[in-house]
Each structure stands twice: as structure tokens, then as C-alpha cells.
Amino acid sequence: MDEATRRAIEWDCTKLINRYTLLNDAADWDAVAALYTEDGQMARPSAPDQPIVGREAILAAFKARPGRAQRHVISNIVVDAISETEASAVCVIVLYQGTASAEGGLPVRDPSGPLIGTYTDRLRKTAEGWRFAERRGGLDFAP
């Protein structure tokens, strides 16, 4: 693989990780689930050993969660191109959560947060573009 291809893969996968974060915070569950391969796996940072398998199951898991105010901050993204169709990535996550304000203004931040952890990803290029084949979260500090 040449240098230009490697850099393009790294950029496309970094963009995928950032897009996932924005869509997740917008609660656009259909769009979030569409970022996984059909047979993709997701394990939440709070349940890293309980993977949810398959795009439809991932969508159902997101839709089953109660609504909440949230903001994920992603940093330290490192993508490694394995081949022209496979890559791996790791990033740090910080999650702020809150509840709706009684006055209807900004949500009130949960005083027990934020949660800090990581995502470790396996990425695959598909006909739809780069997608998550596996996204495994983990917490770095106890809540």
C-alpha cells in the first residue's frame, strides 16, 4: 500500500469515528447503526464484555435506551491501516451526561461524571464506505 492510500484510509476512518460521535449525541440511531457492517459488533464502555452483534440488534439496543442529554468528546484517535480494506483504531472518550432542565434551558450535568474510557475499533471498507466491524468500549475509571 502506498503512502497516499494509507493516509486516505487513516483520514476516512478518523472521519467515521468523529461522525459516529456527532450522530450518537444527536440521538440519530438509524444513522449510527448504519455506520456498522451488517455483522458488526458493538460493546458499550459500561459493558465491554457484552457485545451486541448485527446492525439490526445494534439499532434496537440504541432505540431501547431511555433518552438523555449527552455529549461525547473523542480525542487521541490513532488509526492503523492494515490493508486497503481493513484498519484498526483506538481513541479516548469523555462522556458528559445530564438531565433535562425543569425550566427548559440547558440540561443539568450529572455531578457524578464525566465517564472516561476508550474505544478500540476494527474497521472494514464496504460498498457503503468504511464501517465499524467491531467497536469495543471500556472505562478507564470507575464511575
Q: How far is it, in rounded angstroms, from Cα 12 to Cα 90?
A: 14
Quote the pLDDT of residue 77: 98
Quote the pLDDT of residue 101: 77
Structural domain boundaries enclosing 131: 3-139
> CATH number, domain at 56?
3.10.450.50
Quote the pLDDT of residue 68: 84
Angle at the Cα of 28 (from 10 to 134), degrees rounded to 5?
45
Quote the pLDDT of residue 118: 97
Positions of the chain with pLDDT under 50: none
Number of domains in the chain: 1
Q: Which of 80, 62, 78 is nearest to 26 (CA)?
A: 62
Quote the pLDDT of residue 53: 98
In this prediction the pTM is: 0.92
Quote the pLDDT of residue 84: 97
